[in-house]
Amino acid sequence: MIWTLSQVALGGAVGAVARFVTVSGIARLAGTGFPLGTMVVNVAGSFLMGVLWIWLEARGLTRLAPLLMAGVLGGFTTFSAFSLDVLRLWDTGETLAAAGYAMGSVMLSVGALVAGATLMRGMV
């Protein structure tokens, strides 16, 4: 169990740093109050989750799931930050942006996961 927890912790640290760099980089480029960086991270993380899920299973490497899926991608995707972004948009009176952001993030993330899994199913 300690080995599994160590994998999750190490992967989580890597994913969290990658999330911070990605979100802050996109925020600088976008220059708006809209949380585009968080949305990009959630969609990309969902796509990668679909890819890894199929790739690891096809190769019998599910022992790496704690490191890569729960750890790296768990640290990288930001649904708690997503929820806070929705609330902040709502609290500032941007109700349409809050609704569009919430629906768009969920729909695009689920779609990206399906796309990643579909892509990998055709490759393995």
Specify whether the CB–CB gap between 4 and 62 falls below 8 A. no
Alpha-carbon distances, residue 78 vs 42, 72, 87 (angstroms): 6, 12, 14
3-state secondary structure of 81: helix
Per-residue model confidence (pLDDT) at position 79: 85
**Mean pLDDT, rounded, of the chain:** 94
Positions at the binding site: 74, 77
pLDDT tens for residues 55-106? 999 999 999 999 999 999 999 998 888 898 999 999 999 999 999 999 999 9
Domain count, the chain: 1
pTM comes to 0.80
pLDDT tens digit sequence for 4-61: 999 999 999 999 999 999 999 998 898 888 999 999 999 999 999 999 999 999 999 9
| Binding annotation for Na(+) | 74, 77
pLDDT number for residue 30: 87
Burial of 106 (0-12, 13-18, 19+ CB in 10 A): middle
Q: Can you give the residue range of the structural domain that contains 10?
A: 2-121
